[in-house]
Structure 1
Amino acid sequence: MKRWALAAVGLFALGAAAPADAADLPLYGKAPVVAPVLAFDWTGVYAGINGGGGLAHSCWSITAAGGVAIDPPVGEGCHNASGGTVGAQLGYRWQKGHWVLGAEAEGNWADFKGNNVSLIVPPINNRTKIDSFGLFTGQLGYTVNGLLFYGKTGAAVAHAKYDEFIPGVGVVSNNLTQTRWGYSAGFGVEYAFAENWSVGGEYDHLFLGHHGGDLASPSLLPPVRTEKFGQDVDIGLIRVSYRWGGPVVAKY
């Protein structure tokens, strides 16, 4: 009888201890929690700074001399006006799926300058300088998380100066200054390295066409020569931007 009583007490103690031990055992069969994948959303207003270099290819042709028209124009040769540039950009982007649409305004100071000896009136040198430019463009891009590839096109404007000089003597004509309008096309890649920050590289080509103007001697009238200037500009930039807008989105 005592043996049966001891056995019953032992079974009771074992049953009481079993639930407590079971609570400490890991649960099997439940799927592990999957960490979300963060996808960058490019939607929002952004602003930033940029810097780089450019090269303006400029060709001069004489269309009149001393008020007498020259037809066809006589070419004086071409030169590259190169140098550095810094500026700022402001824009807005909207993302739908992997596609990104945008609009942007960009304004830059520049120091693109160069010259060549005139093929018609040596030793006079024809000199070109671009001291600023602006772009007003639309964008279409494709993004994979924080990496954005885009193309852009729109209007371009540049402030250009032209003059003539003789090495060792100095300037022999008045400066001619023009604000030239044209159009631009380019492409770039941008990487979001933080929630609101991105860095990228961009190439732009400015088509400024042909424009005419008078180059006058400081002491002689009428204008000594009327010139036609043909000009295109290639620009490479590194850009850093800060964005206000849509947050980083968690996707499972």
Structure 2
Amino acid sequence: MRKILLASILVIGSSEVAISADAVIDTLPVESAYKWSGAYLGGFIGYGFGDTEHLNPPGETGDLDIDGVIGGVAIGYNYQMGHYVLGAEADIAWSGIEGSHGPALFNSFNCGSGPCETEVNWLATIRGRAGYAFDNVLPYVTGGVAIGGVDARIPNAPELQDGEDTRVGWTVGAGIEYGISSQWTAKVEYLYTDLGDWRYDSDGSDFSATAEFSTVKFGVNYRF
């Protein structure tokens, strides 16, 4: 009788331990089946659109359109913790984002006999990324520093109003990346970028321009 009682206690105790263990396992973070950790290298192409403004205080043109194609390469690294994915990415791109307006009187600024022109010739960003993985689908937010090569001019102005500069600004956006295979991914990304303003005169007359724009990019990455 004692042996039967002891055996019953052992069986019941083992069952409770097993149930407790299952409960603990159920509360632990579940790993995403697709592994996002590691370095990657990729390329992208896209389109940019936004605004520029030319100023010579108190005169200003108001917002004028700029747009164009953009394309380049990116390098980055992801670190995965369960479903959470943190990373960093740097990219550099050739840019055809530009606009030419006038000659006309815009608000209180006259471009004279020639148009007011703005160009973003190249663009680089250094950004952090944070996302939540649904297996091989990774929606994420991103933001960081933007660096751009810009140029503004009034070609037919009597003085030399033409100036290139390298501007440091900021960028923020979001995207979604899809794991095609263990090594290849594809992504769509939106970024808003503000490069601030820069001087473009050579006679001390305080001509300046601004560049604020959005980009939508389609890219492919190879994971190492």
Q: Return the TM-score normalized by structure 1.
A: 0.70
Measured after TM superposition, the shift of residue 228 of structure 1 is 2.8
Provide the aligned length of Structure 1 versus Structure 2: 189
* Aligned-partner Cα distance in 2 for 1:171–1:52: 37
**Residue of structure 1 in register with 2:194 after alignment:** 207
Q: Does 1:93 align with 2:73?
A: no
Q: Which consecutive unaligned segments of at least 5 residues does structure 1 have? A: 1-36, 64-72, 217-221, 245-252
Measured after TM superposition, the shift of residue 171 of structure 1 is 9.7
**Residue of structure 1 in register with 2:10 after alignment:** none
Superposed CA offset, 1:32-88 (max 9, x none): xxxxx981100000010000111241011103xxxxxxxxx2112332221111100
Superposed CA offset, 1:85-113 (max 9, x none): 11000000001111000001010001111
CA contact (8 A) 1:163 1:171 kept: no
**Residue of structure 2 in register with 1:144 after alignment:** 134
CA RMSD, 1 decimal: 2.1
Structure 1 residues 54 and 214, CA gap change in structure 2 (3 angstroms): closer
Superposed CA offset, 1:211-248 (max 9, x none): 3x1424xxxxx35x32232221211100100111xxxx
CA contact (8 A) 1:78 1:116 kept: no
* Aligned-partner Cα distance in 2 for 1:151–1:58: 26
Q: Does 1:241 align with 2:210?
A: no
CA contact (8 A) 1:47 1:243 kept: yes
* Aligned-partner Cα distance in 2 for 1:80–1:179: 21
Determine which of 45, 48, 59 is the counterpart of 1:51: 45
* Aligned-partner Cα distance in 1 for 2:89–2:95: 19
What code does the residue aligned with 1:99 have? Y
| Greater share of strand | 1
**Residue of structure 1 in register with 2:101 after alignment:** 116
Q: Does 1:161 align with 2:146?
A: no
CA contact (8 A) 1:77 1:116 kept: no
**Residue of structure 1 in register with 2:170 after alignment:** 183
Which of 1 and 2 has higher RCO (CA within 8 Å, sep 6+)? 1
Structure 1 residues 171 and 87, CA gap change in structure 2 (3 angstroms): farther
Structure 1 residues 204 and 38, CA gap change in structure 2 (3 angstroms): closer
Structure 1 residues 197 and 171, CA gap change in structure 2 (3 angstroms): farther
Who wins on radius of gyration, i.e. which is larger? 1
* Aligned-partner Cα distance in 1 for 2:221–2:150: 28
* Aligned-partner Cα distance in 1 for 2:159–2:155: 5
* Aligned-partner Cα distance in 1 for 2:113–2:62: 13
Q: Which consecutive unaligned segments of at least 5 residues does structure 2 have? A: 1-30
Identity of aligned residues (%): 26
What code does the residue aligned with 2:37 have? T
Runs of 4+ in 1 over 6 A off after TM superposition: none
**Residue of structure 2 in register with 1:128 after alignment:** 118
